[in-house]
Structure 1
Amino acid sequence: MQKIIIKENAIFIADAHENENRRGFWKFLQALKNGKIQTSQLFLMGDIFDLLIYEIKATHNFAKDYIDLLEELACEIEIIYLEGNHDFNLAKFFKNVKVYNIEQQPLLCEFQDHTLAKLAHGDIFLKPFLQFCLKSLRNRYLLYFLNFLNNLCKYKITHKILQNQNKKKLVREIPNFSSLIKKRLKYYDTNFVIEGHYHQNIFLEIKNTKYLNLATFAYKESFFIVKYEPEIRFHKIELKEA
């Protein structure tokens, strides 16, 4: 697979967790469309929606306008979408947006100074049983069956999942997070790692590896802009107060 070059002014967004009550990502896309925010490259690092799965039809209606706008924007800018654990099996939604599923993560990229980087939503390199469960949940036959059950019970399954998502705390400090990451970095085997998933908004330097865990967009509508100064910098922008 050809490496993706991370360009100057590329934007990174993770964990927008967009739903009926949280529409910050929609406002961001509108700002991209009308030129208030400008970039030639957008990285979506997973969990952009609270729930979007191709096989689960009840999740489509809310996301339709987003999908259409992302496709329109992708005609002008490069959009790379790494699937998360709340938004997956997405490839059939998109023609212009480049989608990478969990099997294709970590995604090998390269900064303009030739530093190699690997990108992932963050739900990889887990304990075998948990990894098996996450992989099983993406099985399309199981999902079609769940879609049948969801339709049968008048969307109670998806409604309950979205209800629970609304109750979740967006930001909490994970104890001993640096120790957790130190163990996982050996699987990445690269100089720079970028993840979402954990909502920690933290930069770590462990031995020869730089690690960035992106802030959750859902909290303060935070996103990151890549700058070469000449060192690689990720400048955080916050569009709202918490």
Structure 2
Amino acid sequence: MTTPPNRSHGRKSISATLTPQDLMAARPRLKGAWTAKVLTLFPKAFPGVLGESLTGKALDEGLWALEAMDLRSFGVGKHRNVDDTPAGGGAGMVLRPDVLGRAIDAARAGTPEAPEDWPIVYLSPRGAPFTQAWARAWSRARGVTLLCGRFEGVDQRVLDHYPIEEVSLGDFVLTGGELAAQAMIDATVRLLPGVLGNAASTEEESFSRGLLEHPQYTRPAVWKGRAIPEVLMSGHHGQIEAWRREQAEALTRARRPDLWAARKP
């Protein structure tokens, strides 16, 4: 993936979303800040947990931006219909291609055309599994557009017409893509410069090196008869690093043999 031009963090601007329900306009946005655009029937679900803790602080500071775009505003007719019955019959409803087309076109306005610079993602249980690699790739882009499905899904012609990637949070089905979108945005935003404040912490986390993270300990030194491993109290950084590596490898072999098998020699 190509690396976008360096972002300037020297200027703030106020930017409204493209929806009548503007949830983020009161927050400043640093010029060139990484942006997540979410196409959803439930814009009030955002920022949700993304507005808390470090991601929320970074959002308030304008280190990244969030635009929740209401699909209903692109709906058809007096009642702003967004779905219709499946062609060929069957249960449920399907999101209409004309509605989604207008929403995606609005989201793409002013964004880079190259998919690697601004991915468009449909959150779908039939998509590729979301991994830390996806988060790293998205964090290197200028932003990402996430389409949250509902009902029985979206008209296939939308997926065929636009450069859309289908990505899944896991092998289970949710009532919609909003929760998955928040999880994926959180995983991506925390990798952006300045969000966590400690770049080294992201290098030691689970999946960052193809391994699960080693066990962590803190004070008190003894709790309910269980002591912190002596090596961690030794002050010998080489031995500590070796112990942590051994623990990470043992945990990965035992709990995630698929990850262990996929590691490069």
Give the TM-score, by structure 1 length.
Answer: 0.28
Q: Which has the larger radius of gyration?
A: 2
Give the TM-score, by structure 2 length.
Answer: 0.26
Higher-RCO chain (CA-CA 8 Å, sequence separation at least 6) = 1
